Structure 1
Amino acid sequence: NLTIMRLLVVCIVFVSLLLVKPKKFSKLQKRDIIPFFLLGFLGIVVYHLGLNYGEQYVSASASSVIIATIPIFVVILASIFLKEKITLKIVLGVILSILGVVIIYTVGRSNALLEVKYISGALVVLLAAVMAAGYTVAGKKMLQRYSALSLTVYVCLLGSIGLIPFISSTLFEEVAAMSLTGWSVVIFLGLFPTVVGYVLWFVALEIKNASEISMFLYFVPVLSTIISYILFREAITWLFIFGGTLVILGLYVVNKQSSKVN
């Protein structure tokens, strides 16, 4: 239900943009309707549903480590479908960054990697990671014919159709019972991580390779911990600093390599 409400906000924003600024969008080709639906359904709908489902059975720290495999899948898929070259420095950057993420998410949680109580939950989260990687690689290919904004809007709107079978009576009950705080959270999740986040993701993919851009996902735990410190005064440990340094070092290695190639 959270996924449905979140994407409902996204659809309202994108439909409004289409009506108010139609000239800003590339024309949707008939041949791309089905591919866009599949791209949106698998990369957005299935990703969020899988992540939300998996986190019911897998600890937040464990699911975060599993999701951190996205750049690995992106590198593999991009080398196959986009013919992006996998260099030794990219492999080194991935290894450094994922080690940093594991350290960050296991700080103060000695059993964090052993908290996966249900294998099915872990596998569903892993499936979500694969879907996100496929979304990135397929989206990169579509950017040859569509702008970043157009691609994001069409993919989100068409993909959201796949949520219709998941609508249940409990959704309307939960919407009716939601507080102002609840609505604020849903609107925030819809506007910033989804609308702004997905558009900027494709803007970045217009500029650089998919394997390079996906590496920046490793920076998420670093930023989230810093924001948690600012807002909630959560402690920052030396292990976090060490893990964050590995993440940044991995990003530096990959992007230094790509700069030389360019």
Structure 2
Amino acid sequence: MNKLKYWLMLVLATFFWAGNYVFGKYVVTELSPIWITFSRWVLALFVLLPIAIVVEKPNWYHVKKAWKPLLLLGILGIIGYNLLLYSALGYTSPTNAALISAINPGLIVLFSVLLLKESLTRMQIIGLFISLFGALILLTRGDLLGIFEIRYNRGDLLMIGAVIVWTFYSIIGKRLSIPPITATAVSTLLAMVILAPFAFWEGFPFAKTSQISIYGIIYMFLFSSVCSFVFWNISVKKIGASQAGIFLNLIPVFTALISLALGETIRLEQMVGGILVFIGVYLTSGMLTNRMEHVKKKKELSKGA
């Protein structure tokens, strides 16, 4: 069960990202997507860089040689994904944005198999389809035929773009040999250098920012930026992009739970879809297979004794 800590990291990462959807909906009414992205990640740098230096002690010569893929990670995962996400939240609900993100694992699995030559067991493939089926129930509100009738607004289309961007971010992150926290910190630094002129051009919007938006930025930088990205990058390098990607299906489930805690009602089809997503994650992560192998080995050892 040496993968357990990485599964836990992925669960926490997706839970923190779910909170990002909810807070983002509030903050985007007062701050632009550029300033939300810039402020949360500049703050995150003050935590990520010291952690990288102290914990990973990176070889800065190798980091310097990898500046091109690190720059690409910054453009995709830090700038591109966040700008698309917060722009989407200006037009659609957090729950809807999270539901659309449920197609992300399928894209990551597809491109991991095609580009990285990763392999999946039969049980993992079954888990993938169960999880996607659960996401489909969530997306269509229980009317599976309704998938052909859905009319996507501007926010939905922006969210689909964010999903595509995150897929390639995950694929590139898997191939990078730089330690994960260092990679996150350096790619963030490069991204902020690019984004800074655009943020300053817009002017400083914090004079009329409400307290809830300030709390939202603090949450985003500490949990959605630092914790989630570090947990995600560590796990992707250890268990692969395809297995890690399936955990993204937990985001709509956690988003629904957070919305419930804030007073929204949860429908029956959301409960059913959420349960299927959890089952799919359990199977695709390899937890069941590992458990069966552990039990089998234990029985063989007991017989040998």
TM-score, length basis structure 1: 0.83
Tell me, yes or no, if structure 1 residue 202 matches structure 2 residue 236.
Answer: no
Is the 2:174–2:236 Cα contact (8 Å) retained in structure 1? yes
Task: Please report how far the alpha carbon of residue 234 of structure 1 lies from its aligned counterpart in structure 2 after TM superposition.
Answer: 3.3
In 2, the alpha carbon distance for the partners of 1:136 and 1:190 equals: 20
In 2, the alpha carbon distance for the partners of 1:226 and 1:72 equals: 23
Is the 1:100–1:242 Cα contact (8 Å) retained in structure 2? yes
Is the 2:133–2:273 Cα contact (8 Å) retained in structure 1? yes
Q: For the structure 1 residues 179 and 56, does the alpha-carbon distance in structure 2 shift closer, same or farther, using more than 3 Å as the test?
A: closer
Tell me, yes or no, if structure 1 residue 162 matches structure 2 residue 194.
Answer: yes
Q: For 2:164, which of 130, 138, 142 is the aligned residue?
A: 130
SS in structure 2 at match of 1:68: helix
Task: Please report how far the alpha carbon of residue 60 of structure 1 lies from its aligned counterpart in structure 2 after TM superposition.
Answer: 4.2
In 1, the alpha carbon distance for the partners of 2:86 and 2:210 equals: 21
Q: Give the structure 1 partner of residue 153 of structure 2.
A: 117
Tell me, yes or no, if structure 1 residue 92 matches structure 2 residue 126.
Answer: yes
Q: For 2:101, which of 56, 67, 70 is the aligned residue?
A: 67
Task: Please report how far the alpha carbon of residue 197 of structure 1 lies from its aligned counterpart in structure 2 after TM superposition.
Answer: 0.4
Letter in 1 for 2:193: I
**Higher mean C-alpha displacement, 190-199 vs 159-168:** 159-168
Tell me, yes or no, if structure 1 residue 104 matches structure 2 residue 138.
Answer: yes
Q: Give the structure 2 partner of residue 232 of structure 1.
A: 262
In 2, the alpha carbon distance for the partners of 1:108 and 1:85 equals: 32
Post-superposition Cα deviations, 1:201-231, rounded to whole Å, max 9, x if no partner, equal 11212321210011011112222322333x3
Q: Give the structure 2 partner of residue 182 of structure 1.
A: 213
In 1, the alpha carbon distance for the partners of 2:270 and 2:210 equals: 35
In 2, the alpha carbon distance for the partners of 1:7 and 1:117 equals: 28
Q: For the structure 1 residues 5 and 96, does the alpha-carbon distance in structure 2 shift closer, same or farther, using more than 3 Å as the test?
A: same
In 2, the alpha carbon distance for the partners of 1:14 and 1:64 equals: 26
Q: Give the structure 1 partner of residue 179 of structure 2.
A: 147
**Higher mean C-alpha displacement, 88-97 vs 24-33:** 88-97
Q: For the structure 1 residues 64 and 23, does the alpha-carbon distance in structure 2 shift closer, same or farther, using more than 3 Å as the test?
A: closer
Is the 1:58–1:115 Cα contact (8 Å) retained in structure 2? no
Is the 2:101–2:248 Cα contact (8 Å) retained in structure 1? no
Q: Give the structure 2 partner of residue 42 of structure 1.
A: 76
| Percent of paired sites with the same residue | 26
Q: Give the structure 2 partner of residue 252 of structure 1.
A: 282
Post-superposition Cα deviations, 1:91-116, rounded to whole Å, max 9, x if no partner, equal 43233212322333554999897352
Letter in 2 for 1:128: A
Q: Give the structure 2 partner of residue 8 of structure 1.
A: 42
In 2, the alpha carbon distance for the partners of 1:224 and 1:210 equals: 22
- How many equivalent residue pairs? 254
Letter in 1 for 2:192: S
Task: Please report how far the alpha carbon of residue 22 of structure 1 lies from its aligned counterpart in structure 2 after TM superposition.
Answer: 4.6
Letter in 2 for 1:245: I
Q: Give the structure 2 partner of residue 214 of structure 1.
A: 245
Is the 1:62–1:116 Cα contact (8 Å) retained in structure 2? no
SS in structure 2 at match of 1:239: helix
Task: Please report how far the alpha carbon of residue 130 of structure 1 lies from its aligned counterpart in structure 2 after TM superposition.
Answer: 1.3
Rg larger in structure: 2
Letter in 1 for 2:235: A
Q: Which structure 1 segments of 5+ residues have no match?
A: none
Q: For the structure 1 residues 169 and 161, does the alpha-carbon distance in structure 2 shift closer, same or farther, using more than 3 Å as the test?
A: closer
